[in-house]
Amino acid sequence: MNFKSSSGAVFAQTLGPNTRARFVGCVDVDALNEPGGAINEILRCFNEDGSGWKTLDSTVTPPDPVTTSITTLIEGTANTLEQMRGGISTLFVHQRAGGRQDTFGAWERSWVLEKVRVGDRTVNDIAMREEDNFSMMAFAISALPPLWKPFQKTTGRQSVAIAEAFNDIHFCGVGYDADQIGFAVGDADSGSPSDKGDVVYTIDGGTTWTACTTRPFAGAENITAITCFSIGRNTTRAIAARGTTDAGNPMEIAYTDDFGATAWNAVNVGSVNGQFAPGPDSLFAYDPYNIWLVAGAGYIYYSDDGGLTWAVQDAGVATANDLYAIHFSTDRIGYAVGEADTILKTEDGGQSWTATADNTGVSAILRTVHVLPNRVWVGSAAGQLWYSEDEGATWLERAFTGSGAGVVANVKFAKDSELFGFMAHNSAAPVGTVFATIDGGYSWDAVTTFTNTGINGMYVHDLNTAFFAGEPQGSTGVIGKVFAKP
């Protein structure tokens, strides 16, 4: 698809992410300049044979701001840009394939500038002898890099040979391997007491999935949560959490440092028999030294050594309700949510947990939580999505197509920006649908999602890419990928 400049439309957020983007109107957008940095200094030495130079290393300067200029007609009243004296949070330059120009959701691809500054203003042709020129005003725009490039998205199913449901999925890796290594975990065969929950892994970003040679838990025990992280130069650790109760034993995790090739190392978590990890968001690793796990009766556990040992952070003091999900934005700021609209928060890395000043007001199980620097999102088993922008003092509901029924199974945002996020919503059927936002959660657009019977866990790679794990469809469990439409 090719775009004409007349297919463009410009919107601006003035109050930050998760607020309405205002249509800017009849404007011309000049070239968007995205500096990529440059080679700054090169280290060279003479060749030993005197034939010339050899380059040993170099440094690179960081990229400069993204820049452009916007030109508007001068009208009888101040236009939108004139009123925004330096007060633009985000600028969206949409390219449309149809629909009204002033409809925010009518875009096919977009160019997004974040943390925008309106600089110099230039007024042209405000008084001339001839009448063949229009009076114009130009605005110099700069924004922090990078220039974000969201696309409309679709989904595709990954090839796996596991019959049971997949409950959670997580990617890890550093440097060139970032988000290339991933794990997905699933149920044991419900009809077989000897069958064990499966773990599959990928080392190529999800192109191929391989079943681990060994499995972490006993027969008939499901695996509900998985996380992974680097613990050495060439070593990735995966931690799986048992999701089935064992009346004679406490909660249990198992870890592997070799993709399950030889064995999984089992570790008891706490001493309360019968506890288990209730869902895909019940286990969260900020890094190898800050890992949390929630359970029933308000218990919160913590590991600072890669999962080798676990300590109780809260033994049902802040709440006696079952907890379902936990997430941190830093190693100190975190929230945990659970049954009966329970919302807990900590500001000291979990040394103390307290109930938030308010909650959603709907007595439902909260299944998922995601903490951002400036807001917190939670999703409920009643199919509702809520957010707080004042550290839990008040909560507001964000409606989307299908909200108020089914289950909001997952909500997650991209690592580098509060603008781009994904949500998994299951209808009562259940049928899972992936939603995406590019404006920080103010609007959520349904992504065409292949036929399925429910989504469980989700992992967000970047603004255009996510993975999800789900219930069996056909003869196998589901691993799906969200990606930019070709």
Number of H-type helices and E-type strands within the chain: 1, 37
Residues 259, 212 contacting (CB under 8 angstroms): yes
Q: Which of 148, 171, 206 is the last residue of a domain?
A: 148
Task: Please give the Cα distance from 484 to 486 (Å, whole number).
Answer: 6
Partners of 334 in beta bridges = 328, 346
Q: In terms of C-beta density within 10 A (0-12 exposed, 13-18 middle, 19 or more buried), how is residue 47 classed?
A: exposed
Q: Report the predicted TM-score, pTM, of the whole model to 2 decimal places.
A: 0.94
Same domain? For 190 and 312 the reply is: yes
Secondary element (H or E) of residue 271: none
Predicted local distance difference test score (pLDDT) of residue 307: 98
In whole angstroms, how far apart are CA 354 and each of 88, 262, 319? 35, 42, 8
Same domain? For 132 and 165 the reply is: no
Same domain? For 299 and 327 the reply is: yes
Same domain? For 180 and 105 the reply is: no
CATH number assigned to the domain comprising residue 235? 2.130.10.10
Same domain? For 290 and 193 the reply is: yes
Mind listing the pLDDT tens digit for each residue in 297-328?
A: 999 999 999 999 999 999 999 999 999 999 99
Same domain? For 318 and 238 the reply is: yes
How many CA atoms lie less than 13 Å away from 162 in the CB half-sphere? 29
Which of 415, 445, 452, 448 is CA-nearest to residue 430?
452
Same domain? For 418 and 291 the reply is: yes
Q: Which of 118, 148, 178 is the last residue of a domain?
A: 148
Predicted local distance difference test score (pLDDT) of residue 86: 60
Residues 168, 456 contacting (CB under 8 angstroms): yes
Residue with token string 């079943």: 211
Task: Please give the Cα distance from 112 to 328 (Å, whole number).
Answer: 26
Q: Which of 84, 117, 148 is the last residue of a domain?
A: 148
Which of 23, 456, 76 is CA-nearest to residue 243?
456
Same domain? For 59 and 45 the reply is: yes
Residues 6+ apart with CB under 8 A from 253: 239, 240, 241, 242, 266, 267, 269, 277, 283, 293, 307, 310
Residue with token string 């992974």: 228
Predicted local distance difference test score (pLDDT) of residue 85: 65
Same domain? For 105 and 200 the reply is: no
What value does the mean pLDDT of the chain take? 93
Structure tokens at 83: 């009123």
Same domain? For 107 and 185 the reply is: no
Mind listing the pLDDT tens digit for each residue in 63-108?
A: 899 999 999 988 888 877 887 766 789 999 999 988 899 999 999 9
Please provide the DSSP assignment of 330-348 as one string: SSS-EEEEEGGGEEEEESS
As for how many domains the chain has, the answer is 2
Predicted local distance difference test score (pLDDT) of residue 232: 84
Distance spanning both ends of the chain, measured CA to CA: 10
Structure tokens at 289: 């030294």
Structure tokens at 270: 């706490």
Mind listing the pLDDT tens digit for each residue in 463-481?
A: 999 999 999 999 999 999 9
CB atoms within 10 A of CB 233: 6
State yes or no: pLDDT of 294 exceeds 80. yes
Same domain? For 141 and 177 the reply is: no
Q: Per DSSP, which regions of 297-454 are E strands?
A: 299-303, 311-315, 323-328, 334-338, 342-346, 354-355, 366-371, 376-380, 385-388, 396-397, 407-413, 421-426, 432-437, 445-447
Same domain? For 52 and 175 the reply is: no
State yes or no: pLDDT of 30 exceeds 90. yes
Task: Please give the Cα distance from 396 to 377 (Å, whole number).
Answer: 10
Which of 96, 97, 93, 134 is CA-nearest to residue 110?
93
- Looking at residues 205-213, what average pLDDT do you find? 96
Phi then psi for residue 107, to 5 deg, are -130, 155
Mind listing the pLDDT tens digit for each residue in 324-349?
A: 999 999 999 999 999 999 999 999 99
Task: Please give the Cα distance from 314 to 351 (Å, whole number).
Answer: 8
Range of the structural domain that residue 198 is part of: 153-484
